[in-house]
Amino acid sequence: MTYDSRNRSHLLLLIAGAKGAIGSTIAAAVSLLQSEPERILPSLITREGLPGLGAAEKVRMAGWDRTETDMESAIRGHGVLPEAIWGESRQLLAEIPVLSAPPPEMGLKGQTEHLISDIRDLLNKYPHSLPVLVNLLPSCAGGDLQDCRDMAALYAKADPKSFPDLAYGLAAVRSGVPVVNFTPNPIEVPALVQEAIRQGVPISGRDGKTGQTYLKIVLASALKARALHVDGWYSLNILGNADGKNLMDPACAKGKLANKTEILDEILGYSVGERYGTSTHKVHIDYYPPRGDAKEAWDVIDFNGIFGMPMSLRLNLQGRDSILAAPMILDLARWTAAAHKAGLKGLIPELAFFYKRPLGDDPPLTFQDQMVGLQQLEEKCR
Ligand SMILES: NC(=O)c1ccc[n+]([C@@H]2O[C@H](COP(=O)([O-])OP(=O)(O)OC[C@H]3O[C@@H](n4cnc5c(N)ncnc54)[C@H](O)[C@@H]3O)[C@@H](O)[C@H]2O)c1
């Protein structure tokens, strides 16, 4: 099943993990965009418009979750937003269709077929929309599926219990729906990317760059631009939400830590700590329940100037995970829908600005190049 995106301009977010901390924050934002758009629009970088897309407030949301709790209870439970912000939107929140996740026992093929049928129903419910699948499932152990060159090999090898995101990604591309992968989970396996190209849909990812890593890219790019040599970079995060708890499982944290770590050497063009014979870029994540979604991060950056003279910088971010993520996802989905309308397909490297692990051919790495990447994408979408 595919649909013609040319005569459509309003966004439909199809969110896997719709009742999680980020998903439910997006639900509140989407509801407010309908009733009081001026409270949300200033936080969107695409608010002035993107080629081929309608006004930023014209957005609806649907999705899936494995919890049966209603959206209002989900928002309350995550504690991200005070009731004063979403209380007036109760009716709109209750109307967001969130379907049950297909059970893992169905296997990858069965789950994918089930989700294709769900997507068909949702597109019938919102017939004039531009759908984008947004993956917000928990970080997972995944699996090595690089050798799966076609769908049959993927269905045979992948274990949906340890990699539930795949079914959502496959169902989307097989339905002609583009994909935003905000999770650290590597769903861009060859068989899925090939299918996306065959179906003419864009995919972007992986792992949203919301707080500490966003500032790391900015600072590393600035130090590089001045030929200041980074000798070591120590990063610590504490967070107390479900994502933080899940990341205490080493198998689930592996991908996230790699995404947060590898990017620095890639930007700088050398291995930080080479002269010590070991990497001196260290990243730690610790689950600390008192903070909930209000994460805190510290960075110690040791760098050298002329004559090798040492200097040092301290950074302390007191951020909010879902508050940083939700507007990024609205923007990302709008960029991805615009790319789809413009006929782009497969991995979209120009969206590197949004991700810790940018994908596609030769994605831009420094902050400056990533901003240029967005301008180039806008040109391509005209
Ligand atoms: N917040 C950030 O700053 C940030 C940055 C980068 C990446 N991420 C990633 O975004 C993802 C979502 O983060 P979050 O804080 O919303 O997590 P969360 O744990 O609060 O939400 C995940 C949701 O997915 C649901 N779920 C689990 N399995 C499912 C399945 N098979 N089908 C449908 N739903 C299912 C859960 O019930 C839950 O509601 C995580 O992978 C996280 O690592 C977050």
Residues 353/374, Cβ–Cβ less than 8 Å: yes
Residues 329/46, Cβ–Cβ less than 8 Å: no
CA of 108 to the centre of ligand 1 (A): 20
Residue 3 has pLDDT above 80, yes or no: no
How sure is the predictor about 260, in pLDDT bands with cuts at 50, 70 and 90?
A: confident
Arithmetic mean of pLDDT, 338-357: 96
Q: What is the pLDDT of residue 301?
A: 98
Phi-psi region at 96: left, alpha or beta (left = phi > 0; alpha = psi -120 to 50): beta
Arithmetic mean of pLDDT, 87-101: 96
φ, ψ of residue 176 to 5 degrees: the values are 75, 25
Arithmetic mean of pLDDT, 180-202: 95
Nearest-10 crossing angle of helices 367-381, 212-225:
110
Arithmetic mean of pLDDT, 338-350: 96
The CA distance from 367 to 217, in Å, is 6
Mutate to test the pocket of ligand 1, among 13, 22, 238, 322 (most ligand atoms within 8 A of CB): 22
Q: What is the pLDDT of residue 110?
A: 94
Supply the residue whose CA is at minimum distance from atom 31 of ligand 1. Answer: 164
Arithmetic mean of pLDDT, 46-60: 92
Residue 283 has pLDDT above 90, yes or no: yes
Arithmetic mean of pLDDT, 201-230: 96
Supply the residue whose CA is at minimum distance from atom 18 of ligand 1. Answer: 20
CA of 65 to the centre of ligand 1 (A): 10
φ, ψ of residue 180 to 5 degrees: the values are -110, 120
Contacts of 274 (CB under 8 A, 6+ apart): none
Arithmetic mean of pLDDT, 116-138: 96
Residue 153 has pLDDT above 60, yes or no: yes
Q: Please tell me if the CB atom of residue 18 comes closer than 6 angstroms to any atom of ligand 1.
A: no
Highest mean pLDDT among 49-58, 246-255, 371-380: 371-380
The CA distance from 27 to 11, in Å, is 14
CA of 137 to the centre of ligand 1 (A): 4
Mutate to test the pocket of ligand 1, among 61, 65, 118, 215 (most ligand atoms within 8 A of CB): 65
Supply the residue whose CA is at minimum distance from atom 6 of ligand 1. Answer: 208
Q: In what order do the strands lie in the sheet with 310-318?
A: 281-287, 229-239, 296-304, 310-318
**Any idea which of 61-70, 155-164, 175-184 has the lowest mean pLDDT?**
155-164
Residue 140: C-alpha distances to residues 66, 227, 245 (Å): 15, 38, 12
Residue 159 has pLDDT above 90, yes or no: no
Arithmetic mean of pLDDT, 250-265: 85
Percentage of residues in the chain having pLDDT higher than 70: 98
Dihedral of CA 108/113/116/121: which sign? negative
Q: Please tell me if the CB atom of residue 111 comes closer than 6 angstroms to any atom of ligand 1.
A: no
Q: What is the pLDDT of residue 351?
A: 98
Q: Please tell me if the CB atom of residue 118 comes closer than 6 angstroms to any atom of ligand 1.
A: no
The CA distance from 89 to 34, in Å, is 9
Q: What is the pLDDT of residue 6?
A: 66
- Atom of ligand 1 lying closest to residue 140 CA: 41
Average pLDDT, the chain: 94
How sure is the predictor about 1, in pLDDT bands with cuts at 50, 70 and 90?
A: low
How sure is the predictor about 2, in pLDDT bands with cuts at 50, 70 and 90?
A: low
CA of 381 to the centre of ligand 1 (A): 30
Which residue segments constitute the domains of the chain, with CATH numbers given? Answer: 10-208+322-381 (3.40.50.720), 212-318 (3.30.360.10)
Burial 254-271 (b: 16+ CB within 10 A, else e): ebbebbbbebbbebbeee
